[in-house]
Amino acid sequence: MVKKDAVVSLIYTLKNDTGQELDKSSPDKPFAYLHGNKQIVPGLENALEGLAVGDKKKVTVSPAEGYGEFVAELKKEVERSNFPKDAEIKAGMQFSSEVGGDHRVFTVTGVEGDKVKIDGNHPLAGQTLHFDVEVVEIRNATSEELKHGHVHGPGGHDHH
């Protein structure tokens, strides 16, 4: 059963409100995560609690339970001088910055002369998410996985 500290492997498809596919796992490479450790959006994690191997579920996740609401103030223009002189700044680059005591990832959305346009919203902020999931494996996490707070091995993360 899906419960805290279980390693859960899923096959999933993620779509937006218009039915556009945003992401999916490959059937031969399920997505594995450590349940109850905030590794997936809260709305999906809560909906999976108590499911068993073979269970399939459609889950709709609101922005508040997903990647948050879109915050207009996090989309801004800053001076190029805020970045290291030798750094090549271009669209798509990401950097971390502290905003109100929280670390937030910003994406550069454009560069115009001495102005750099940045966005601190997650690309899926403000969107309702539609997951179609199937639980394909559940196992107990190893003590090392619990200590590190993430899955090791297939579908997860290996330390090299």
Give the Cα separation of 76 and 10 in Å (integer). Answer: 37
What is the tens place of the pLDDT at every residue in 47-77? 999 999 999 999 999 999 999 999 999 999 9
Whether the pLDDT of residue 125 is over 60: the answer is yes
Cβ burial, residue 111 (10 Å; 0-12/13-18/19+): middle
Q: In sequence order, what are the residues at sequence separation of 6 or more whose Cβ sits closer than 8 angstroms to the Cβ of residue 63?
A: 69, 70, 125, 126, 127, 128
Q: Please, which pLDDT band fits residue 155 given cuts at 50, 70 and 90? A: low
Count CA atoms within 13 Å of residue 130 on its CB side: 7
Give the Cα separation of 23 and 94 in Å (integer). Answer: 20
The pTM (predicted TM-score) of the whole model is 0.82
Q: Which domains does the chain have, with CATH numbers?
A: 6-67+126-148 (3.10.50.40), 72-119 (2.40.10.330)
Sign of CA dihedral 37, 39, 43, 46: negative
What is the tens place of the pLDDT at every residue in 7-42? 999 999 999 999 999 999 998 999 999 999 999 999
